[in-house]
Amino acid sequence: MRPRPTEAGVTVSRWLRSRLGLAAVLALSWAATAAAQSLETLTIHTASGAHSFAVEVARTPEERATGLMHRRFLPADRGMLFDFGETAPVAMWMKNTYISLDMLFIRADGTIARIAQRTEPLSTRIVPSGEPVLSVLELNAGTAARIGAKPGDKVEHPLFSGR
Query: Using one digit for the tens of pLDDT, what is the confidence trace for 36-50?
Result: 458 999 999 999 999
Task: Give the pLDDT of residue 161.
Answer: 82
Q: Return d(Cα 101, Cα 83) in angstroms, integer.
A: 17
pLDDT at position 41 is 97
Residue spans of alpha helices (H) in the chain: 5-37, 61-66, 143-147
**Minimum mean pLDDT range among 9-13, 40-44, 80-84, 93-97:** 9-13
- Average pLDDT value for residue range 148-153: 98
Mean pLDDT of 140-153: 98
CATH hierarchy code of domain 39-160 = 2.60.120.1140
- pLDDT-based confidence at 163, cuts 50/70/90? low
